[in-house]
Amino acid sequence: MTAKVSVVIPAYNCASYIANAIDSVLSQRGCSIEVLVIDDGSRDGTRDVVSSYGTKVHYLHQENQGAAAARNKGLQLATGNYIAFLDSDDTWYPDKLAVQINILDYHPEYIATFSNFHIVDQKGEITHSNGIQQDYAIFKVENESLRGLFDKEIDGIYYGNLFPSLFLGNFINTSSILVRREVLLRAGYFDTTLVTQEDYDYWLRLAQAGQMAYIDQTLLTRSRIPGQLTGKGQNLQISLDVVTVIERYAKQAAQFLGSAITRKRLEDKYCSLAINYLTINDKSAARKSLWKALKLKGARSKSTRLLIWSFLPQRVADSIRYALSRSCRK
């Protein structure tokens, strides 16, 4: 029997590019497709573009509530054996779903698969061919490798219990994942209280339900469009939400990683949050975050130095920052 895949596409003011996403779904080979576009309060021509596809696409409009709420509505409506998510500015290559379905059919022990991706600019030109290593800090800050994140690897398919590795940093692209519907129903819905990181939170929850597999192939493109929520201007909100998520799962993580590694992850994120607060000169909020870091057993000198920094007059702090930046360029 041909597998049926429900594809959930959250949409918000994306009339100029959502057709590319929908076309890439309708071009998938080897499976039956149910396309669900959840319009999260668009005020441009998104409705007209989606409506032009007729019965090929199911369209639902809702008041603006955010991407998490839009995905949740899609989950409620989905009827496929498998469920996939696609952001409205991303596109899939024609065999994306077929490759993933084949792996899930052959390995019933896997609950989901995800893959690598190309990063493209507004013109659709590839800027980075190895998107997963470019996009996710765990490969840079923690200097992790694919083999280090997964339990096992066979012929370019990495798999295992991903919860411990995911706690150390997200590396799952939302538009790349394909999940068994029954698993998603057990996992529940995306957390609508998070402005960002609702996907990271969901993957951590999902990873506790069973083994997940990573396919080391580029099966899609991820677009970078100015004004996206995950741009540089949203660093503070991202940092706040990351702290919320890792605090939520710290107890479970300690059972796999041990207390020391779990505390280090927490301290690093408390310090990152403090730095973002200091950047906007909110010293009170920065100190609250740093006090949390210092209360952790084995807290490092970085937290203490940042706390001292927070008490310096702004002019002195700026002078030190300028001097340090000059010395780094020499």
- Work out the pLDDT band at 148, boundaries 50, 70, 90: confident
On the 0-12 / 13-18 / 19+ scale of CB atoms within 10 A, 313 is exposed
The pTM score is 0.91
At 150-168, the pLDDT tens digits run 888 888 899 999 999 999 9
- Percentage of residues in the chain having pLDDT higher than 90: 75
What's the whole-number average pLDDT of the chain?
90
What pLDDT, on the 0 to 100 scale, is given for residue 261? 94
pLDDT tens, 204-220? 999 999 999 999 999 99
Domain 4-225: homologous superfamily in CATH: Spore Coat Polysaccharide Biosynthesis Protein SpsA; Chain A (3.90.550.10)
Exposure of 238 by Cβ count < 10 A (0-12 exposed, 13-18 middle, 19+ buried)?
A: buried
The domain defined by 233-329 folds into 1.25.40
Domain range annotation of the chain = 4-225, 233-329
* Residue % of the chain over a pLDDT of 70: 92
Start-to-end C-alpha separation, the chain = 64
> Is 50 exceeded by the pLDDT of residue 324?
no
Banded model confidence at residue 99, pLDDT cuts 50, 70, 90: very high
Radius of gyration of the chain (CA): 21
- Range 178-205 average pLDDT: 96
